[in-house]
Every structure is written in structure tokens, then in C-alpha cells.
Structure 1
Amino acid sequence: MFFLAPLLFFGLILLLSSFFIIKQQTAGIIERFGKFHSIRQSGLHLKIPLVDRIAGKLSLKIQQLDVIVETKTLDDVFVKLKVSVQYKVIKDKVYEAFYKLDYPHDQITSYVFDVVRAEVPKMRLDDVFVKKDDIAIAVKSELNEAMMTYGYDIIKTLVTDIDPDSQVKEAMNRINAAEREKVAAQYEGDAQRILIVEKAKAEAESKRLQGQGIADQRREIARGLEESVEVLNKVGINSQEASALIVVTQHYDTLQSIGADTNSNLILLPNSPQAGSQMLNDMVASFAASNQIGEAMKKAKENKKNKDI
């Protein structure tokens, strides 16, 4: 009875150690006497105590490895690229993944370094930003070919960051700022040019309308003068006297309008009560002289024409 209790306890421990659980999306590798025996998937399993052992477990989930590679571009700019590799263990190749490769992270990192340092030196810095997807595709192609043998599937590769040297970034920022200032200046110049053109068009239209208004005004004045002359002719005043009288009348109307404006500082010199009469006499005499000269020139022209005949 004294030895029975320890034996029962030892047997219970062996029984409990015979059962083990594999989690979801995990594969367990079972070895028997140090030699591969089987692969167990998720669930409750039984093994032979002291004979079988769990050599290891591999996750079947998609995993990500971030690799930072420093290299030089075609235009001699040092740049750091962050390449994110998403991979997983192939369910049917758990054996290869566990026994053929001890450190998958190191292997993937080596291939990423090799591909990136082969592709980026062929490109200029600007092309690295533009063609980062091409770099990612080249990395994925190389990794798939190499890692498939070891039971790993490369799901996707992404170039998630491109970090040039700090001095290069400052230079690029200055170039970008200068380009933006240049574009802004061009837009401002275009806006000012449009304003000037539109202002010139508005002024031209204003002048055209103003000239049209002046022409209409003068046309109406001429029509009014013509009607005034006709009215004066009917009462026995000839055209010369009528014209002079109209001019004098306008002269006095102008003086009256100027005098009516209390804020006006305009002074007409010379000016006297006899100015109107003098102006009328001068204009009548001027019209008469003009008519005489016109008649004389007309007669001279007719005499010359008669002589030529």
C-alpha cells in the first residue's frame, strides 16, 4: 500500500502527458525517439509518453517581416528602403519549413538585400519613388522562387518607405518649394494679366460708349442749331446773323450755368457787359468776310476753267 500511491500518481502524470492540444492555425511536429513521426493539426491529440515528443510548433498565419535596406542610386544618392514581406508556412509543406530552414527571417532578409541592392542602383532617385512597385515585384518574384523550396509562400511584398539622406531631402524640399513658388507666380501673373486685359476692355467699351454719347449729343445740338437757324430765317435774320446770335446765346447760357454753381472757382477773362455785343459784331463781320473770300475763290476757279476751255 505504501508503494501503490506513488505508482498511481506517476501513472496519472503519464496519462495526462499523453494528451496535448494544438491551437487553431498551428501545426505541431511529433518526433518518436528523435525521428520525425507525424504532423498534427489543430485539436486534441494523443502521444505515447516517453516515446513521442512535440519537437516544435509552426504558425500557419500570415506573418510580416520588415527589412530596412540601405543602398545607393544611379545618381549616387544613399537611400534607405523599408520592405515589408508578408509570408506564411504552406500547410502541406510543414515538414520542409521545420527541418530545412532554421532561421527563415534571416533567409528572407538576405534575399531582400540581394534584390534591392541589385535593382535600386540601376535607377535614379526620382525613379525609385516612381517605380517602387517594380522593386516590390522583383523582390516577391525572387523570394517566391527561393522560399517555396523551404515550404514558405510569399504573399506580398511592399516598399513601405523610401528615406533618402537628410541633406538630399532638404534639397528636394527646397526644389519643391521653388517649383511651387514658380507656379504660384505664374498664376498671379496670369490673374494680373487677365485683370489688366479686362480693365482695358472695360475702358475701351466706356470710351466707345462715351464717344457715341458725345456724337449723339453733337448730332442733336447740330439738329437744334439747324432748327434755330430756320426759325430765325423766318423772321428775317440771315444765316450768318442767326449763327452769331446762337453762339452769343450759348455764351451767356454758359456764364449763367457757371454763376449758378456757388462752389465754382472758375474766372473767365476778359469779360465785360459789352463782350456779348462785341462778340456778335465780330462774328457777323467774320462770316461776311468769309463769304466774300469764298465768292472770290469761286469766281477765280470759274475764270480759270473758262480759259482752259
Structure 2
Amino acid sequence: MQEMNLMPMLLLIGIVVLVVYIFSRYIIVIRQQECVIIERLGKFHTILNSGLNILIPFVDQSRQILWSRNGVITNVDRIDMREVVIDIPEQKVITKDNVGIIVDAIIYVQITDVKRAAYEIQSLPWAVAQLTQTTLRSLVGEMDLDHTLSSRDTINSRLKMVLDEATDKWGLKVNRVELKNVSPPPDVQMAMEKQMQAERERRANVLAAEGSKQSQILNAEGEKRSRIEHSEGEKQEKINQALGDKEAMIARAFGQAKAIEDVAAAQAKAIEFVKEAFGSSDVAANYLIAMEYLKRFGEMTQKNTDKVFIPYEATSVLSSIGAIGDILNKVSQDPSKITHLKK
């Protein structure tokens, strides 16, 4: 009797377990940005999107693929449609100039076609990683070490283009590729550091030489400008002195001309007075000549010498003196003429 009473209870428990199992496996709630591939009797049937989805028990099954979940590559049945990061392991690559370097990278990918990602390629992340490594070896092998170290952007863009084209048939979109590390061997790195140090010292020496050269040029230009200014100053000083001398000479010449003019005017006035006094121009001329001879003769006799030489022309002076005597006799007879002579 007790065994017969347990049978319905066990049956009820089995039904409850079956219902729970069916609900857990065939009634699916899918979150946003996720999807599930459904196969019906082993054949692709549909893709379930976000929301509540009900499957046919024991007929519909979800398909698992190898994909990233929380940064870990694992088998998942809920495929994340967001952009994910795949870390490419480091590898040794030989450059064009036969230098072995260690490189690694990361790629940002996103599934655009879930069906092709599940059925066109096996182990999608592993295939992408292997394709990235082989393409990276090919690209770096075309460059020498210096070009590789200075052309990361070029390598990234070329690698992205190749990967995006190759993975398109897998329903995958490569959004970005970044080289993380490019590490040359220790001996090469040491040589590069020595080279950079030597280059820095060379640049410092070049800058010092350029500075010295520029300083010498500026000093030479300053000295040249100073000499030019000094020469201009001396030239201006000489010009000013010459102008002063010229003005002084002109002033002296005007003074001498004025003096000569005044003397000539005085002599002309004297001749007029003599002529008016004696009433004859001949007598006036003899008077003036006699007076000049007497003046010169007086200068000759004033020298401190024992002998005095009288020139032959002195006889004309004596005759002039006689003429002067006649003139004085005439003047004495006319007192008004004496007043004119005194003037």
C-alpha cells in the first residue's frame, strides 16, 4: 500500500521537474544586444533576438559558438553583438634588415552576421588571432627596424584593411587595430640608446656652433655699424668744419672787399678834395705821388743800418717835393683850400 501511495508522488515530482526543465531550456529571455542561434533537428532554423522566446521542446536547440564573454574566450549560446576586444599574443617578427623584434596587438571586432559567424568559420576568435599574426609578420617583414618603430599608424591601418577584407565573409567587422608593444632585442635597444645619445650630443654641438656663429656675426655687424657711425660722425664733423671755414673765408673776403672799397672810396674822396683844392687834376696826381714816395722813403730811412741806399727813382721824389712847395705857396694864398686838405 505504501508503495502504491509513493508512485503518484514520484510521478508528480517527475512532472514538476520536467516542467521546470522545459521552462528553463525552451522558454528563453534574451537580453538587449544578445542573440541565440536556434537549430531545429540539427538544421539552422532562426535567430532569436532580445525579449521572451518560446522553443519547441526536444526539437529546437540553441547552437553554441566560441566567442568572448566578459573578456574570456569560451563556448557561448548567447552571442554578444557588441564590440569586443581580442588580445593577440606577442610573437617574434623579423624585419627587413634582419632584426628580430617582439610585437603584440589588440583588435576591436564586432559580429555583424551571426549565422555566418557560426557556420562559415570554426573557432572564430582563434582564426582572427592567427590571421592577425600572419598578416603582422608579413607587414613588418617589408619594413626595416627604424621604419617599423616610427610607422605604427601605417601598420595599424594596413593591418585593419587586410583583416576587415578577410573576415567579411565570416560576418565579422574589424573596427580598429592597435599595436601594443614593439620591443627590439636588448643589444639592439642598447645600440639605439647610444645612437640617440650621440645624436643628442651632435645636435647640442651643432646648436652651440650655430649660437657661436650667430654671436660672431652679430658682433661683426655691431662693430661694422659702430665704424660706419664713427666714420659718418667724422665726415659730418669735417663737413661742418669745412662749412665753418668757408663761411669764415667768405666773411674775411667780404671784410677785405669792404675795406678795399672803403680805402678806394677814401682815396677817391681825397683825390676829389685835392683836385678841388688845386683846381687841376695833374697837380692833384703829382701831390698824391709825392706823398706816397715820401711815405716809402721814410720807411726806408727808419731801418737800423749804417747805410741807406736811395734808388735812382728818388730824383723824381725831389721834383715832387718841389711841386709840393709850389702847391703849398698856392694854398697859402687861398686859406679855404687848406681846410679842404685837412679834411
Distance verdict in 2 for CA 1:14–1:81, change over 3 Å: closer
Q: How does 1:62-141 map to 2 (within 5 A)?
A: 62-67=83-88, 68-91=90-113, 94-141=114-161
What does residue 44 of structure 1 align with?
Answer: 52
Structure 1 residue 60, shift from structure 2 partner: 1.6
Amino acid at match of 1:84: I
State yes or no: 1:211 paired with 2:234. Answer: yes
**How far apart in 1 are the matches of 2:34 and 2:191?**
46
- From 13, 22, 31, the equivalent of 1:6 is 13
Distance verdict in 2 for CA 1:9–1:102, change over 3 Å: same
- From 166, 174, 191, the equivalent of 1:154 is 174
Instruction: Return the TM-score normalized by structure 1.
Output: 0.60
Distance verdict in 2 for CA 1:194–1:142, change over 3 Å: same
Amino acid at match of 1:88: Q
Residues 17-71 of structure 1: CA deviation (Å, up to 9, x unaligned):
2321222222212244555443212222112345434331222222233434432
Q: How does 1:175-214 map to 2 (within 5 A)?
A: 175-185=198-208, 187-214=210-237
What does residue 250 of structure 1 align with?
Answer: none
Runs of at least 5 residues in structure 1 that lack an aligned partner in the other structure: 237-309
**How far apart in 2 are the matches of 1:228 and 1:21?**
124
Q: How does 1:20-39 map to 2 (within 5 A)?
A: 20-32=28-40, 36-39=44-47
Amino acid at match of 2:133: F
Distance verdict in 2 for CA 1:49–1:203, change over 3 Å: same
Instruction: Return the TM-score normalized by structure 2.
Output: 0.55
The answer to whether the 8 A contact 1:14-1:49 is kept is no
**How far apart in 1 are the matches of 2:19 and 2:120?**
37
**How far apart in 2 are the matches of 1:195 and 1:129?**
42
**How far apart in 2 are the matches of 1:83 and 1:107?**
15
Give the number of the structure whose alpha-carbon radius of gyration is greater. 2
The answer to whether the 8 A contact 1:101-1:150 is kept is yes
**How far apart in 1 are the matches of 2:40 and 2:33?**
23
The answer to whether the 8 A contact 1:115-1:138 is kept is no
What does residue 78 of structure 2 align with?
Answer: 57
Residues 185-213 of structure 1: CA deviation (Å, up to 9, x unaligned):
35414531442243123212322233124
Residues 60-101 of structure 1: CA deviation (Å, up to 9, x unaligned):
22223343443222233333334332222122xx23322444
State yes or no: 1:16 paired with 2:38. Answer: no
Amino acid at match of 1:205: I
Distance verdict in 2 for CA 1:70–1:178, change over 3 Å: farther
Q: Report how many residues are paired.
A: 234
Structure 1 residue 115, shift from structure 2 partner: 2.0
Amino acid at match of 2:164: N
The answer to whether the 8 A contact 1:69-1:116 is kept is no
**How far apart in 2 are the matches of 1:177 and 1:226?**
72
Bigger relative contact order, structure 1 or 2, given CA contacts below 8 A and separation 6+? 1
The answer to whether the 8 A contact 1:58-1:98 is kept is no
- From 148, 153, 164, the equivalent of 1:144 is 164
Runs of at least 5 residues in structure 2 that lack an aligned partner in the other structure: 64-76, 260-343
Distance verdict in 2 for CA 1:70–1:60, change over 3 Å: same
**How far apart in 1 are the matches of 2:29 and 2:131?**
35
The answer to whether the 8 A contact 1:32-1:51 is kept is yes
